[in-house]
Structure 1
Amino acid sequence: MLKLIQNEWIKIIKRPGTIVMVALIVLLVGATGAFVKYYEHKKEQNADQNWKQTLQVQTAEDKKQLKGISNKDPQRQFLERSIAINEYRIDHNISPDEKTNVWTFMDTSSSLIILVSLFTIIVSGNIVASEFNWGTIKLLLIRPFSRKKIIMSKYLTSILFGFAMLFILFLVSNLLGLVLFGAGSGNTSYLAYVDGHVEEQSRLVYSAKLYVMSFIETFMLATMAFMVSTVFRNNTIAIGISILLLTVGNTVTVILSGFFDWTKFILFANTNLMQYVNGTPPVEGMTMTFSVIMLLVYFVIFLGLSIVVFSKRDVTA
Structure 2
Amino acid sequence: MFNLVKNELMKIFKRPGTYVMIGILVIIASIAAGFIKYQESGNEKAGNPQWEHSLKQETESSKKQLENSNSRLEKDYLKRQITINEYRMEHHISPEQKYSLWGFVTDASQLIQLAGLFTIIVSAGIVASEFSWGTIKLLLIRPIKRTKILLAKYIAVLLFALFLLAVLFAYSTAIGAVLFDIPDKASPYLNYYNGKVTEQNMILHLMIYYGLNSVSMIMLATMAFMISSVFRNSSLAIGLSIFLMFTGGQITNLLSLKFSWAKYVLFANTDLMQYFEGTPMVEGMTLPFSVMVLAIYFLIFQLLAFYVFQKRDVAA
TM class by smaller structure: over 0.9
2:215 corresponds in structure 1 to: 216
Matched, 1:44 2:44: yes
Instruction: Report Cα offsets for 1:104-123 as digits up to 9, x if no partner.
Output: 11101001101110000000
Question: 1:262-301 counterparts in 2 under 5 A?
Answer: 262-278=261-277, 280-301=279-300
Which letter maps to 2:25?
Answer: I
Cα pair 2:193 2:276 within 8 Å, conserved: yes
Structure-2 change in CA distance of 1:153 and 1:220 (3 Å): same
Cα pair 1:196 1:279 within 8 Å, conserved: no
Matched, 1:26 2:26: yes
Instruction: Report Cα offsets for 1:85-142 as digits up to 9, x if no partner.
Output: 2333334333322112221111010011011100000000111111111111111111
Cα pair 2:100 2:180 within 8 Å, conserved: yes
Q: CA deviation at 1:20?
A: 0.7
1:135 corresponds in structure 2 to: 134
Structure-2 change in CA distance of 1:185 and 1:150 (3 Å): same
Which letter maps to 1:32?
Answer: A
C-alpha distance in 2, partners of 1:87/1:263?
34
Cα pair 1:151 1:307 within 8 Å, conserved: yes
C-alpha distance in 2, partners of 1:41/1:92?
31
Matched, 1:101 2:93: no
Question: 1:32-71 counterparts in 2 under 5 A?
Answer: 32-45=32-45, 50-70=50-70
Which has the larger displacement, 137-146 or 86-95? 86-95
Which letter maps to 1:63?
Answer: K
Cα pair 1:193 1:279 within 8 Å, conserved: no
Cα pair 1:230 1:306 within 8 Å, conserved: yes
Q: CA deviation at 1:209?
A: 0.2
Instruction: Report Cα offsets for 1:153-211 as digits up to 9, x if no partner.
Output: 11111111111101111111112222222431455111121111222211011000011
1:249 corresponds in structure 2 to: 248
Question: 1:188-203 counterparts in 2 under 5 A?
Answer: 188-203=187-202
Cα pair 2:112 2:165 within 8 Å, conserved: yes
SS in 1 for 2:244: helix
2:3 corresponds in structure 1 to: 3
Which has the larger displacement, 138-147 or 215-224? 138-147
C-alpha distance in 2, partners of 1:43/1:76?
33
Cα pair 2:62 2:82 within 8 Å, conserved: yes
C-alpha distance in 2, partners of 1:187/1:145?
51
Cα pair 1:4 1:153 within 8 Å, conserved: yes
Which letter maps to 2:65?
Answer: Q
Which letter maps to 2:92?
Answer: N
Q: CA deviation at 1:68?
A: 3.9
C-alpha distance in 2, partners of 1:315/1:23?
36
Q: CA deviation at 1:304?
A: 0.7
Q: CA deviation at 1:58?
A: 3.6
SS in 1 for 2:192: strand
Which has the larger displacement, 245-254 or 84-93? 84-93
C-alpha distance in 2, partners of 1:65/1:155?
49
Which letter maps to 1:130?
Answer: S
Cα pair 1:223 1:299 within 8 Å, conserved: yes
Q: CA deviation at 1:46?
A: 7.4
Gapped regions of structure 2 (runs ≥ 5): none
Percent pairwise identity: 48
SS in 1 for 2:204: helix
1:206 corresponds in structure 2 to: 205
Instruction: Report Cα offsets for 1:245-292 as digits up to 9, x if no partner.
Output: 111222233333333322221112221222233363223332222221
Cα pair 2:186 2:202 within 8 Å, conserved: no
Which has the larger displacement, 305-314 or 96-105? 96-105
Structure-2 change in CA distance of 1:2 and 1:243 (3 Å): same
Matched, 1:162 2:193: no
Which has the larger displacement, 147-156 or 265-274? 265-274
Q: CA deviation at 1:226?
A: 0.5
1:229 corresponds in structure 2 to: 228
Which letter maps to 2:281?
Answer: P
Structure-2 change in CA distance of 1:125 and 1:107 (3 Å): same
C-alpha distance in 1, partners of 2:14/2:265?
37
Q: CA deviation at 1:295?
A: 1.1
C-alpha distance in 2, partners of 1:76/1:309?
47
Gapped regions of structure 1 (runs ≥ 5): none
SS in 2 for 1:96: coil
